Protein backbone atom coordinates (compact mmCIF):
# COMPACT_ATOMS: atom_id res chain seq x y z
CA UNK A 1 0.00 0.00 0.00
CA UNK A 2 1.29 3.43 -0.96
CA UNK A 3 -1.41 5.42 0.83
CA UNK A 4 1.22 6.84 3.22
CA UNK A 5 2.50 9.10 0.42
CA UNK A 6 1.36 12.77 0.29
CA UNK A 7 -1.95 13.14 -1.56
CA UNK A 8 -0.53 15.24 -4.47
CA UNK A 9 2.17 12.63 -5.05
CA UNK A 10 -0.49 9.89 -5.11
CA UNK A 11 -2.52 12.00 -7.55
CA UNK A 12 0.41 12.41 -9.93
CA UNK A 13 1.33 8.72 -9.64
CA UNK A 14 -2.24 7.59 -10.31
CA UNK A 15 -2.59 9.99 -13.24
CA UNK A 16 0.49 8.40 -14.81
CA UNK A 17 -0.77 4.86 -14.09
CA UNK A 18 -4.21 5.68 -15.51
CA UNK A 19 -2.66 7.19 -18.64
CA UNK A 20 -0.31 4.25 -19.27
CA UNK A 21 -3.06 1.73 -18.54
CA UNK A 22 -5.48 3.46 -20.91
CA UNK A 23 -2.97 3.83 -23.73
CA UNK A 24 -1.77 0.20 -23.50
CA UNK A 25 -5.21 -1.40 -23.49
CA UNK A 26 -6.65 0.99 -26.09
CA UNK A 27 -3.87 0.14 -28.56
CA UNK A 28 -4.55 -3.56 -27.96
CA UNK A 29 -8.29 -2.97 -28.38
CA UNK A 30 -7.78 -1.33 -31.79
CA UNK A 31 -6.74 -4.66 -33.34
CA UNK A 32 -10.12 -6.48 -33.01
CA UNK A 33 -11.93 -3.15 -33.51
CA UNK A 34 -10.33 -2.61 -36.93
CA UNK A 35 -10.87 -6.26 -37.87
CA UNK A 36 -14.53 -5.88 -36.97
CA UNK A 37 -14.74 -2.84 -39.22
CA UNK A 38 -13.18 -4.39 -42.31
CA UNK A 39 -14.67 -7.92 -42.14
CA UNK A 40 -18.49 -7.61 -42.38
CA UNK A 41 -19.40 -11.10 -41.19
CA UNK A 42 -21.86 -11.12 -38.29
CA UNK A 43 -20.41 -14.11 -36.44
CA UNK A 44 -16.86 -12.76 -36.79
CA UNK A 45 -17.96 -9.33 -35.57
CA UNK A 46 -19.60 -10.88 -32.51
CA UNK A 47 -16.31 -12.70 -31.79
CA UNK A 48 -14.40 -9.42 -32.16
CA UNK A 49 -16.84 -7.70 -29.81
CA UNK A 50 -16.19 -10.35 -27.16
CA UNK A 51 -12.44 -9.84 -27.56
CA UNK A 52 -12.88 -6.09 -27.24
CA UNK A 53 -14.94 -6.51 -24.06
CA UNK A 54 -12.23 -8.76 -22.59
CA UNK A 55 -9.68 -6.00 -23.22
CA UNK A 56 -11.97 -3.37 -21.67
CA UNK A 57 -12.51 -5.51 -18.57
CA UNK A 58 -8.74 -5.91 -18.25
CA UNK A 59 -8.43 -2.10 -18.39
CA UNK A 60 -10.97 -1.78 -15.54
CA UNK A 61 -9.20 -4.50 -13.52
CA UNK A 62 -5.89 -2.62 -13.80
CA UNK A 63 -7.60 0.61 -12.72
CA UNK A 64 -8.92 -1.24 -9.70
CA UNK A 65 -5.37 -2.41 -9.05
CA UNK A 66 -3.91 1.11 -8.72
CA UNK A 67 -6.89 2.12 -6.59
CA UNK A 68 -6.15 -0.70 -4.14
CA UNK A 69 -2.43 0.09 -4.23
CA UNK A 70 -2.72 3.79 -3.42
CA UNK A 71 -6.14 4.38 -1.83
CA UNK A 72 -7.42 3.57 1.64
CA UNK A 73 -11.06 4.18 0.70
CA UNK A 74 -13.63 2.12 2.58
CA UNK A 75 -16.03 0.43 0.16
CA UNK A 76 -19.47 -0.69 1.32
CA UNK A 77 -21.33 -2.45 -1.49
CA UNK A 78 -24.65 -4.29 -1.22
CA UNK A 79 -26.52 -6.26 -3.88
CA UNK A 80 -23.64 -6.93 -6.30
CA UNK A 81 -24.04 -10.66 -5.68
CA UNK A 82 -27.34 -10.56 -7.60
CA UNK A 83 -25.70 -9.48 -10.86
CA UNK A 84 -25.18 -12.01 -13.66
CA UNK A 85 -22.73 -11.84 -16.57
CA UNK A 86 -25.09 -13.47 -19.07
CA UNK A 87 -27.94 -10.96 -18.76
CA UNK A 88 -29.20 -7.86 -20.53
CA UNK A 89 -29.64 -4.94 -18.14
CA UNK A 90 -30.89 -1.39 -18.12
CA UNK A 91 -28.74 0.33 -15.47
CA UNK A 92 -29.91 3.59 -13.87
CA UNK A 93 -27.91 5.49 -11.25
CA UNK A 94 -27.82 8.81 -9.48
CA UNK A 95 -24.99 11.08 -10.62
CA UNK A 96 -22.85 13.26 -8.36
CA UNK A 97 -19.30 13.06 -9.72
CA UNK A 98 -17.17 11.65 -12.54
CA UNK A 99 -16.01 9.24 -9.82
CA UNK A 100 -19.39 7.49 -10.19
CA UNK A 101 -18.21 5.86 -13.43
CA UNK A 102 -14.98 4.50 -11.90
CA UNK A 103 -16.91 3.27 -8.85
CA UNK A 104 -19.50 1.44 -10.96
CA UNK A 105 -16.89 -0.07 -13.27
CA UNK A 106 -14.97 -1.39 -10.26
CA UNK A 107 -18.07 -3.00 -8.72
CA UNK A 108 -19.63 -4.30 -11.98
CA UNK A 109 -16.46 -5.65 -13.59
CA UNK A 110 -16.64 -9.44 -14.14
CA UNK A 111 -19.99 -9.50 -12.31
CA UNK A 112 -22.22 -8.07 -15.05
CA UNK A 113 -21.91 -7.31 -18.76
CA UNK A 114 -19.61 -4.39 -19.50
CA UNK A 115 -21.29 -1.02 -18.89
CA UNK A 116 -22.09 0.92 -22.07
CA UNK A 117 -23.17 4.54 -22.18
CA UNK A 118 -24.96 6.69 -24.73
CA UNK A 119 -22.48 9.34 -25.86
CA UNK A 120 -22.74 12.58 -27.77
CA UNK A 121 -21.75 12.11 -31.41
CA UNK A 122 -18.84 14.57 -31.11
CA UNK A 123 -17.10 12.38 -28.50
CA UNK A 124 -16.02 9.88 -31.15
CA UNK A 125 -13.23 12.36 -31.95
CA UNK A 126 -11.74 12.27 -28.43
CA UNK A 127 -8.09 11.16 -28.80
CA UNK A 128 -7.32 7.51 -28.00
CA UNK A 129 -10.57 6.59 -26.24
CA UNK A 130 -12.98 7.83 -28.93
CA UNK A 131 -12.05 4.92 -31.21
CA UNK A 132 -12.11 2.58 -28.20
CA UNK A 133 -15.69 3.66 -27.43
CA UNK A 134 -16.61 3.00 -31.06
CA UNK A 135 -15.02 -0.47 -30.91
CA UNK A 136 -16.98 -1.21 -27.73
CA UNK A 137 -20.21 -0.34 -29.56
CA UNK A 138 -20.98 2.63 -27.32
CA UNK A 139 -23.94 4.31 -29.06
CA UNK A 140 -23.06 7.76 -30.43
CA UNK A 141 -26.22 9.84 -30.50
CA UNK A 142 -27.11 13.09 -32.23
CA UNK A 143 -29.86 14.65 -30.16
CA UNK A 144 -32.07 17.44 -31.50
CA UNK A 145 -33.32 20.31 -29.37
CA UNK A 146 -37.02 21.18 -29.15
CA UNK A 147 -36.30 24.44 -30.99
CA UNK A 148 -34.53 22.59 -33.82
CA UNK A 149 -37.42 20.14 -34.21
CA UNK A 150 -39.91 23.00 -34.45
CA UNK A 151 -37.92 24.37 -37.39
CA UNK A 152 -37.23 20.91 -38.87
CA UNK A 153 -40.23 18.67 -38.08
CA UNK A 154 -38.99 16.10 -40.59
CA UNK A 155 -36.27 15.18 -38.06
CA UNK A 156 -38.80 14.21 -35.41
CA UNK A 157 -38.39 10.57 -34.44
CA UNK A 158 -34.79 10.39 -35.70
CA UNK A 159 -33.55 10.00 -32.10
CA UNK A 160 -35.55 6.81 -31.67
CA UNK A 161 -34.47 5.45 -35.04
CA UNK A 162 -30.82 6.09 -34.16
CA UNK A 163 -31.32 4.41 -30.77
CA UNK A 164 -32.87 1.38 -32.44
CA UNK A 165 -29.93 1.11 -34.85
CA UNK A 166 -27.45 1.43 -31.99
CA UNK A 167 -29.24 -1.14 -29.86
CA UNK A 168 -29.39 -3.70 -32.68
CA UNK A 169 -25.75 -4.60 -32.05
CA UNK A 170 -26.53 -5.26 -28.38
CA UNK A 171 -28.72 -8.24 -29.21
CA UNK A 172 -25.86 -10.68 -29.79
CA UNK A 173 -23.81 -10.26 -26.61
CA UNK A 174 -25.07 -9.50 -23.08
CA UNK A 175 -24.95 -5.81 -22.24
CA UNK A 176 -25.55 -3.35 -19.41
CA UNK A 177 -26.96 -0.19 -21.00
CA UNK A 178 -26.17 2.63 -18.58
CA UNK A 179 -28.07 5.89 -18.17
CA UNK A 180 -27.65 8.76 -15.71
CA UNK A 181 -31.28 9.86 -15.98
CA UNK A 182 -30.77 13.09 -14.05
CA UNK A 183 -28.92 14.28 -17.15
CA UNK A 184 -26.20 16.05 -15.19
CA UNK A 185 -24.26 15.82 -11.94
CA UNK A 186 -26.11 16.76 -8.76
CA UNK A 187 -25.31 20.10 -7.13
CA UNK A 188 -27.36 22.00 -4.61
CA UNK A 189 -27.61 24.94 -7.03
CA UNK A 190 -29.09 22.71 -9.76
CA UNK A 191 -31.41 21.11 -7.20
CA UNK A 192 -32.72 24.49 -6.08
CA UNK A 193 -33.10 25.78 -9.64
CA UNK A 194 -35.14 22.71 -10.61
CA UNK A 195 -37.19 22.85 -7.41
CA UNK A 196 -36.61 19.10 -7.30
CA UNK A 197 -39.14 17.20 -5.15
CA UNK A 198 -36.32 14.96 -3.89
CA UNK A 199 -33.89 15.72 -1.07
CA UNK A 200 -30.74 14.23 -2.62
CA UNK A 201 -31.60 13.90 -6.31
CA UNK A 202 -32.39 15.95 -9.37
CA UNK A 203 -35.59 15.33 -11.29
CA UNK A 204 -35.09 12.32 -13.60
CA UNK A 205 -35.50 12.61 -17.36
CA UNK A 206 -37.35 9.60 -18.68
CA UNK A 207 -36.55 9.94 -22.39
CA UNK A 208 -33.21 8.12 -22.50
CA UNK A 209 -34.39 5.11 -20.52
CA UNK A 210 -37.66 5.01 -22.47
CA UNK A 211 -35.79 4.97 -25.80
CA UNK A 212 -33.82 1.90 -24.67
CA UNK A 213 -37.02 0.14 -23.54
CA UNK A 214 -38.70 1.07 -26.82
CA UNK A 215 -35.79 -0.29 -28.86
CA UNK A 216 -34.77 -3.32 -26.74
CA UNK A 217 -37.85 -4.21 -24.72
CA UNK A 218 -37.77 -7.77 -26.03
CA UNK A 219 -34.17 -8.25 -24.80
CA UNK A 220 -33.88 -6.24 -21.60
CA UNK A 221 -35.96 -7.70 -18.79
CA UNK A 222 -34.23 -6.25 -15.72
CA UNK A 223 -33.61 -2.82 -14.27
CA UNK A 224 -30.42 -2.52 -12.20
CA UNK A 225 -31.01 0.43 -9.89
CA UNK A 226 -27.70 1.73 -8.52
CA UNK A 227 -27.55 4.17 -5.60
CA UNK A 228 -24.16 5.76 -4.91
CA UNK A 229 -23.40 7.74 -1.75
CA UNK A 230 -20.30 9.58 -0.60
CA UNK A 231 -20.69 10.21 3.16
CA UNK A 232 -17.77 12.66 3.05
CA UNK A 233 -19.35 14.64 0.21
CA UNK A 234 -19.24 14.13 -3.56
CA UNK A 235 -15.56 14.18 -4.57
CA UNK A 236 -13.92 15.81 -7.55
CA UNK A 237 -11.95 13.59 -9.89
CA UNK A 238 -8.66 15.03 -8.54
CA UNK A 239 -9.69 14.29 -4.96
CA UNK A 240 -10.46 10.74 -6.00
CA UNK A 241 -7.23 10.23 -7.91
CA UNK A 242 -5.32 11.59 -4.87
CA UNK A 243 -6.97 9.02 -2.58
CA UNK A 244 -8.89 11.62 -0.59
CA UNK A 245 -12.23 9.77 -0.74
CA UNK A 246 -12.70 8.22 2.69
CA UNK A 247 -15.77 6.10 1.91
CA UNK A 248 -17.93 4.96 -1.00
CA UNK A 249 -21.31 3.32 -0.45
CA UNK A 250 -23.27 1.59 -3.17
CA UNK A 251 -26.54 -0.32 -3.11
CA UNK A 252 -27.65 -2.32 -6.16
CA UNK A 253 -31.26 -3.40 -6.60
CA UNK A 254 -32.48 -5.57 -9.45
CA UNK A 255 -36.11 -5.05 -10.49
CA UNK A 256 -38.21 -6.66 -13.21
CA UNK A 257 -39.23 -4.11 -15.84
CA UNK A 258 -43.03 -4.05 -16.33
CA UNK A 259 -44.06 -5.45 -19.70
CA UNK A 260 -46.34 -2.51 -20.52
CA UNK A 261 -43.31 -0.18 -20.57
CA UNK A 262 -41.58 -2.02 -23.43
CA UNK A 263 -41.74 -1.68 -27.18
CA UNK A 264 -43.87 1.47 -27.40
CA UNK A 265 -43.05 4.84 -28.92
CA UNK A 266 -42.21 7.34 -26.19
CA UNK A 267 -42.09 10.26 -28.62
CA UNK A 268 -45.68 9.89 -29.87
CA UNK A 269 -47.58 7.91 -27.22
CA UNK A 270 -48.78 10.24 -24.43
CA UNK A 271 -50.07 7.41 -22.23
CA UNK A 272 -46.75 5.58 -22.55
CA UNK A 273 -44.82 8.73 -21.62
CA UNK A 274 -46.97 9.13 -18.51
CA UNK A 275 -46.50 5.49 -17.52
CA UNK A 276 -42.71 5.63 -17.92
CA UNK A 277 -42.46 8.88 -15.95
CA UNK A 278 -44.62 7.50 -13.14
CA UNK A 279 -42.58 4.29 -12.96
CA UNK A 280 -39.31 6.20 -12.94
CA UNK A 281 -40.70 8.58 -10.31
CA UNK A 282 -41.45 5.58 -8.05
CA UNK A 283 -37.86 4.34 -8.48
CA UNK A 284 -36.51 7.80 -7.69
CA UNK A 285 -38.58 8.25 -4.53
CA UNK A 286 -37.27 4.92 -3.25
CA UNK A 287 -33.73 5.94 -4.21
CA UNK A 288 -34.06 9.26 -2.36
CA UNK A 289 -35.13 7.43 0.81
CA UNK A 290 -32.26 4.98 0.34
CA UNK A 291 -29.76 7.85 0.02
CA UNK A 292 -31.13 9.47 3.15
CA UNK A 293 -30.52 6.23 5.06
CA UNK A 294 -27.07 5.61 3.53
CA UNK A 295 -25.84 9.11 4.34
CA UNK A 296 -27.32 9.09 7.85
CA UNK A 297 -25.60 5.81 8.63
- The CATH number given to whatever domain includes residue 148 is 3.40.1130
Q: How many domains does the chain have?
A: 1
| Tens-digit pLDDT profile for residues 52-102 | 999 999 999 999 999 999 999 999 999 999 999 999 999 999 999 999 999
**Can you say whether the dihedral through the CA atoms of 145, 147, 150, 154 is positive or negative?**
negative
CA 52 – CA 47 distance, rounded (Å): 9
Instruction: Domain of residue 121: give its range.
Output: 73-296
- DSSP, res 196: -
Nearest-10 Cα torsion for 251, 52, 62, 231: -20
Q: Specify the 3-state DSSP secondary structure of 65.
A: helix
Residue 6 lies in a domain: no
Residue-wise DSSP of 98-160: THHHHHHHHHHTTTSSPEEE-EEGGGGGSTTHHHHHHHTTPPEE----HHHHHH-GGGTTHHH
Residue 247 lies in a domain: yes
Residue 210 lies in a domain: yes
Residue 12 lies in a domain: no
Question: What residues form DSSP beta bridges with 224?
Answer: 91, 254
- DSSP, res 198: S
Residue 80 lies in a domain: yes
Q: Are 200 and 291 in contact (CB under 8 A)?
A: yes
Residue 41 lies in a domain: no
Residue 234 lies in a domain: yes
Residue 7 lies in a domain: no
| Tens-digit pLDDT profile for residues 235-276 | 999 999 999 999 999 999 999 999 999 888 887 888 999 999
Global pTM?
A: 0.89
Amino acid sequence: MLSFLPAPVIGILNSILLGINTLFWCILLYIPAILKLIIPIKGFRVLCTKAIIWVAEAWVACNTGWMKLTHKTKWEVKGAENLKRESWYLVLANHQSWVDIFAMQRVFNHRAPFLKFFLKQQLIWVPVIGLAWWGLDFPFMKRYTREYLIKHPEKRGEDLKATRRACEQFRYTPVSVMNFVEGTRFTQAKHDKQKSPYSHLLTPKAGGAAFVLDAMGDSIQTLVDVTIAYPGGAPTFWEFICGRVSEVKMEIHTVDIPEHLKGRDYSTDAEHRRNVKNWLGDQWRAKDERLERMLAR
